[in-house]
Amino acid sequence: MTGTISTQTGSAHAGLLGIGAYRPSRVVTNAEVCEHIDSSDEWIRTRSGIIERRFAEPHETVQMMSVAASRKALDLAGVDPAQIDCVVVATVSHLMQTPAVAPLIAAELGATPAAAFDISAACAGFCHGVALGADMVRSGTAKYVLAIGVERLSDITDPTDRGTAFIFADGAGAAVMGPADVEGVGPVVWGADGSKYDLIRQNENWMDVVEMNQSEMPTLRMDGNPVFRWASFEMAKVAREALDRAGMTVDDLDAFIPHQANMRIVDAMARALKLPDHVAIARDIVYQGNTSAASVPLAAAAMLESGEAKSGDTALFIAFGAGLAYAAQVVTLP
């Protein structure tokens, strides 16, 4: 047999149609974090920009937070869950190794029989999901895609570890992507540097935990200073390339929405990019901490809710973290 395989094409353009967020109810102050580590409110504020963060209560599971954020995004997009063809969930803190959490989220939303799977790209995961979703819409693999970034990092953070306890937090954000009249998601610039694999990592793998007969779960560890230097210098280059590939300059931007890793990294990138004064800069980290895969959609939703950014604005997303992995794209905000 020498048949030719048929192919398909999708919409000429893809866009973000709605963004939703879920912030857990429990506010955790720097004073509470300092009950377990030798630190101070002043040190945490000046070194990270964080004043407080949110930790999920037991009922605020990865699934529950994702469904809540997704319902808001779907409402804003005017898309029925049944129209979703693919649900992509970026997370590193769904503690059931298999199956993925995405099918559970899709089922609870009523987005069945959408394809549903998780991706593990740590803090860069949501921007990977946006890139995949836009490509699916343009290729015809899916008409509507739901990309979720969600974390319960409080479950895998050691409250007594001075290097991470004050940074990581919980939350969820979601974006609906679909066909658009003009392009709403620019080319992704993404990559990974496995030579820096150990800089942010689980302290032990599960096999070691079992062999050593330990009763405690592995937790995150980070060599903060090299990560800080890498993010501050290398990520500005990636951001510039994402602008170039979208055919834009910083003057075309209305908003800069980077991963909320550390306020000093946000400031260093803004300086390196020479962002004009009119560009609104996301600073959600102050009250949200570093929520890894959830941080970009949480920050975008906060800017849209507060009026700092508005529908139709041009924004630059960039996210980076464990792997080390990164992804950036220019988008039109929904």
Q: Let me know: does 193 contact 87? Beta carbons within 8 Å.
A: no
Under rule CB under 6 A, residue 266 binds ligand COA: no
**Of positions 31, 95, 99, 162, contacts ligand COA by CB under 6 A:** 162
Closer to ligand COA at the Cβ: 53 or 72? 53
Closer to ligand COA at the Cβ: 37 or 318? 37
Which residue in 30, 86, 128, 290 is the catalytic one?
290
Closer to ligand COA at the Cβ: 290 or 332? 290
Active site (annotated) includes residue 205: no
Closer to ligand COA at the Cβ: 17 or 300? 300
Give which of 78, 85, 84 is closest to 17, Cα–Cα: 78
> Which segment (65-73, 79-87, 202-210, 219-227) binds ligand COA by CB under 6 A?
219-227
State the first-to-last Cα distance of the chain, in angstroms, to the nearest integer: 48
**Of positions 37, 101, 269, 275, contacts ligand COA by CB under 6 A:** 37
Cα(106)–Cα(116) distance, integer angstroms: 7
Under rule CB under 6 A, residue 43 binds ligand COA: yes
Under rule CB under 6 A, residue 321 binds ligand COA: yes
Which residue in 30, 86, 94, 123 is the catalytic one?
123
Under rule CB under 6 A, residue 230 binds ligand COA: no
Min separation Cβ 196 and ligand COA, Å: 11
Tell the burial category of 282 from Cβ atoms under 10 Å away from its Cβ (0-12, 13-18, 19+). buried
Active site (annotated) includes residue 225: no
Under rule CB under 6 A, residue 265 binds ligand COA: yes
Min separation Cβ 132 and ligand COA, Å: 20
Min separation Cβ 298 and ligand COA, Å: 14
3-state SS string for the chain = CCCCCCCCCCCCCEEEEEEEEECCCEEEEHHHHCCCCCCCHHHHHHHHCCCEEEECCCCCCHHHHHHHHHHHHHHHHCCCHHHCCEEEEECCCCCCCCCCCHHHHHHHHCCCCCEEEEECCHHHHHHHHHHHHHHHHHHCCCCCEEEEEEEEHHHHCCCCCCCCCCCECEEEEEEEEEECCCCCECCCEEEECHHHHHHEEECCCHHHHHHCCCCCCCCEEECHHHHHHHHHHHHHHHHHHHHHHCCCCHHHCCEEEECCCCHHHHHHHHHHHCCCCCCEECCCHHHHCECHHHHHHHHHHHHHHHCCCCCCCEEEEEEEECCCEEEEEEEECC
Site mask for ligand COA (CB under 6 A), range 48-67, x = bound: x-------------------
**Of positions 36, 204, 224, 281, contacts ligand COA by CB under 6 A:** 224
Q: Which of residues 181-210 bind ligand COA (CB under 6 A)?
A: 200
Min separation Cβ 265 and ligand COA, Å: 6
Give which of 74, 81, 212, 221 is closest to 156, Cα–Cα: 221
Active site (annotated) includes residue 290: yes
Size of the site for ligand COA (CB under 6 A): 21
Under rule CB under 6 A, residue 225 binds ligand COA: yes
Under rule CB under 6 A, residue 123 binds ligand COA: yes
Under rule CB under 6 A, residue 288 binds ligand COA: no
Question: Which of the residues are catalytic?
Answer: 123, 259, 290
Residues that bind ligand COA (CB under 6 A): 37, 39, 43, 47-48, 123, 162-163, 166, 200, 222, 224-225, 227-228, 231, 261-262, 265, 290, 321
